[in-house]
Chains A and B, each alone.
Chain A
Amino acid sequence: MSAVSQSDPAKDLKNDQLLVDRAKSGDRHAFDLLVLKYQSRILSLVTRILSNPSDALDVVQETFVKAYRSLESFRGESAFYTWLYRIAVNTAKNYASASAKLQLDVSMESMVGGTDHLPSFQDSGSPDQQSATDQLQAAILEAIEQLPDDLCQALTLRELEGMSYEDIAERMDCPIGTVRSRIFRARESVVNQIQAQFPGTYVS
């Protein structure tokens, strides 16, 4: 193979479109899968616009709420993530401009009056929560490093390189079904290790 292709866009569209269609018909579980699928990418995107983690999380939440309420307007002409991306950027920029205006208003009022009207900042990013997230990420990376080579390679080719199962099969010289199984077993191994290390994680 001369060039490695990324995952098939037509298949991406088909998978997401099916979930969107189900969500449109009122299936909240289908929409939940879309949230779980894209929440990390959206949060990383929003964090580039808003530096405050708490604000970024609020915007991510608002993005998905808007998306759900506007699902009817999504006609599938673009990928679902592209559509979601636009909502997230718009929401984050509006939030940033509104927050800047609010801060300006508050600072001007504080020059005149007292401080009773000042907003509380108790919702700002919790260090404990950030620390737990860092520990979880470190544990995931450690678990991946301990995977057998074939599982680790299949997983990283998929997650880091974004290769399709077909391309991974060609690269690893094995059937597609084997790739599918290796990636699944790699994930299961990591999840089981994390659950053993952090009881209660990944439990609904």
Chain B
Amino acid sequence: MTEMLRTALSALVDQEASEFETRRALEALKSNPDLKARFGAYQSIGATLRGESLVPESLLTRIHAALDAPEQPVSQARPAATQSPESANPTITFLPAREALPSRFGIFAGQLAMAASIAFAVVIGVKVVAPVEMKPPAVASVETPEIIRFQLPVQREQVAVQTGVTAVDESPEASTPRLMSEADVRRLVSERLGQYLVRHAENSSVVGTQSVLPLARIMGRDEPIQ
């Protein structure tokens, strides 16, 4: 190892070597591996002065082994790099937002669709199960709500039975259909709707499907239809 070559290496450590010296040093490295160790020694002197960590000499061997091995990360705990180092951004991306958003949105949309379809089925079911033609009572208030006119599921005769008034009653009032007050009608509708809701809830629990029925029941039971 000539002194001139080592001088060139020393200058190369300091970025002061000419292009000719650099090329010559690289050529000499091919036939004289001690030059590389000398270059590392020069570098370690500067690192020690600057308080940097000294790297074990085995690191270069490890790097060679890794480069010669099939491409894979050094540690299994380390994820493979997918970014181009040229455009590497030193920030951590824990979860790609574009992948996370559709899954959460999909779950929410699915639940919403299921809830809407069940609510629709409940409304249709109530209409189908009680398709009784409803006529507003003669003395009903003029401002009967729309929902009462369409969904009132009782006939006068049924009301008479349910309220305990028999058809063979001899009393003068029995010969004519009994008209119920608006409050009674609401109470009966609420009771009957409650039965439907309970039955539906039982069926839902057997089938195992999700339902918004508990909410509908609570709403319907706590606040009778106006």
Contact = CB atoms under 8 A, between A and B. Distances in A.
A, B bound: yes
Interface of A: 7-8, 11-12, 14-16, 18-19, 22, 27-30, 32-33, 35-37, 39-41, 43-44, 47, 55-62, 64-70, 73-75, 83, 86-87, 89-91, 93-95, 97-99, 102, 129, 133, 136-137, 140-141, 144, 155-156, 158-160, 164-165, 180-181, 183-184, 187-188, 190-191, 194, 201-204
19 contacts: A11-B15, A15-B15, A18-B19, A29-B30, A33-B39, A36-B40, A40-B43, A56-B53, A57-B56, A57-B59, A65-B74, A67-B85, A70-B85, A83-B86, A94-B81, A136-B54, A140-B45, A187-B10, A194-B41
Contacts of A90: 81, 83, 85, 88-90
Interface stretch (B60-68, B125-133, B178-186): B60-68
Contacts of A204: 33-34, 36-37
A157 B41 CA distance: 18
A32 to B, nearest CB: 6
A22 B29 CA distance: 13
Contacts of B83: 90
A194 to B, nearest CB: 7
B90 A89 contact: yes
A159 B7 contact: no
Given A11-B15, A188-B6, 15 more contacts: A18-B19, A32-B36, A36-B40, A41-B47, A44-B52, A62-B66, A62-B75, A95-B75, A97-B92, A98-B77, A180-B11, A187-B10, A187-B41, A202-B37, A203-B37
B141 interface: no
Contacts of B91: 93
Interface in B8-25: 10-17, 19, 22-23
Contacts of B45: 140, 144, 155, 159, 187, 190-191
A41 B73 CA distance: 22
A180 B78 CA distance: 43
Contacts of A201: 41
B59 to A, nearest CB: 6
B50 interface: yes
Interface of B: 6-7, 10-17, 19, 22-23, 26, 29-30, 33-34, 36-50, 52-56, 59-60, 62-64, 66-67, 71, 73-75, 77-79, 81, 83-86, 88-92, 94
A176 to B, nearest CB: 9
Given A36-B43, A140-B45, A43 B90 contact: no
A158 B190 CA distance: 93
Contacts of A61: 59, 62-63, 66, 74
A83 B83 CA distance: 13
A32 B19 CA distance: 18
Contact of A87 (B30, B34, B88): B88
A47 B53 CA distance: 9
Contact of B15 (A12, A70, A187): A12
B93 to A, nearest CB: 9
B43 A66 contact: no
A136 B62 CA distance: 21
Contacts of A190: 45
B49 A156 contact: yes
Given A15-B17, A184-B7, A70 B92 contact: no
B14 A165 contact: yes
Contacts of A89: 88, 90
A164 B15 CA distance: 9
Given A65-B66, A99-B77, A40 B90 contact: no
